[in-house]
Amino acid sequence: MKWLVVLLCLSSVLLHAEENTGDTEIDKYDDLMLALELAKIIHSPQTHEEMIKQIVDDTIKGAPHMEPFRKVFQEFYSEYVHYDFVVEDVALIYSELFDKDDLLELKKFHTSEVGQKFNKNASAIQMSMLEANMERMANNMQYLQPMLEEEAARLKSLSEAN
């Protein structure tokens, strides 16, 4: 039933896309199905579960007093950031950003040995990048306050001049 609703909603988008690009509704549907296939290759259920666990861990890390509610957070994210919703959203994004040739090339890469290795480690790479950026920002927060104060003074002087 959910797929029927998604397909019905997409039909209006696809019809509009046909007017703008000359692509037929069938072409857009095929591209969307290819994008969905790619999304399922790149974003496996296991990777999704790892992402949910990491989100919960980060939530608790940011608010340790919420540790007794870990199970509630896990249930909430599992329900409202469900794998099926995520891959459908990603497929729509892929189908908007990439044409059929791009999607086929991406599929070829992500089903290759190195592509599968990349997919397996993608969430760890993203989390490491996020943690490094958060640490970099935390280490430089002392520079933010003077910047904010300077901008506040500039804005105040502009408003007083008017």
17-66 pLDDT per residue, tens? 444 555 677 778 888 899 999 999 888 888 788 888 888 998 898 899 99
- Could you tell me how many helices (H) and strands (E) the chain has, helices first? 8, 0
Angle at 121 between CA 120 and CA 126, to 5 degrees: 135
Residue 109 lies in a domain: yes
User: How much is the pLDDT for 12?
Assistant: 46
Please give the single-letter amino acid code of residue 128. Answer: S
Residue 75 lies in a domain: no
Residue 143 lies in a domain: yes
**Domain range spanning residue 143?**
2-50+82-161
**In the chain, how many domains are there?**
1
Residue 67 lies in a domain: no
Tell me how far apart the alpha carbons of residues 136 and 115 are, in angstroms, rounded to a whole number: 29
Residue 156 lies in a domain: yes
Residue 61 lies in a domain: no
Residue 41 lies in a domain: yes
6-22 per-residue burial string, b: 16 or more CB within 10 A, e: under 16: beeebeeebeebeeeee
Predicted TM-score (pTM) of the model is 0.60
Residue 25 lies in a domain: yes
- Is the four-CA dihedral 29, 34, 39, 45 of positive or negative sign? positive
